[in-house]
Amino acid sequence: MATASDLPHPEREALELSTVLFALSDPDRLEMVRQLRDGAMDAANCNALDPEIPKSTKSHLMKVLREAGVIRNEPNGRRRTLTLRRDDLDARFPGLLDAVLGGLDSGQGSR
């Protein structure tokens, strides 16, 4: 049963390539995904982004990624934990994350 603190996440079968690509098209959202590639992260510690970015903007960035099915944002006590939905994305769009994140690693995706 879902609780008030649960946020909706699309099922694997509902993930759409255009929505995922849109979510990955923003440099700040892409930086979040790059961070999450190495493992789960506390939402409050999403520190790779410019510290001057308002909390509301960071929340919106996470919302776009979650609604696209790129990340999970789940309660963990009084905090929220972010995780990359790599298994779901790899199942729906094989090689997409590796291609996008590989471009970042080679400097092609940097600002």
Question: What are the tens digits of pLDDT across the range 70-102?
Answer: 999 999 888 889 999 999 999 999 999 999 998
Query: Residue 110: what pLDDT?
Result: 45
> What ranges make up the beta strands (E) of 1-107?
41-42, 71-76, 79-84
Query: Residue 1: what pLDDT?
Result: 44
Question: What domains sit in the chain, N to C, each tagged with a CATH number?
Answer: 12-105 (1.10.10.10)
pLDDT in tens, the chain (111 residues): 455 468 899 999 999 999 999 999 999 999 899 989 989 988 877 665 677 788 888 889 999 999 999 999 999 888 889 999 999 999 999 999 999 998 655 554 444
- Cβ atoms < 10 Å from Cβ of 77: 6
Sign of CA dihedral 22, 106, 93, 66: negative
Query: Residue 97: what pLDDT?
Result: 94
Burial class of residue 66, CB neighbours in 10 A (0-12, 13-18, 19+): buried
Q: What whole-number distance in Å separates Cα of residue 80 and Cα of residue 78?
A: 7
Contact 67, 10 (CB under 8 A): yes
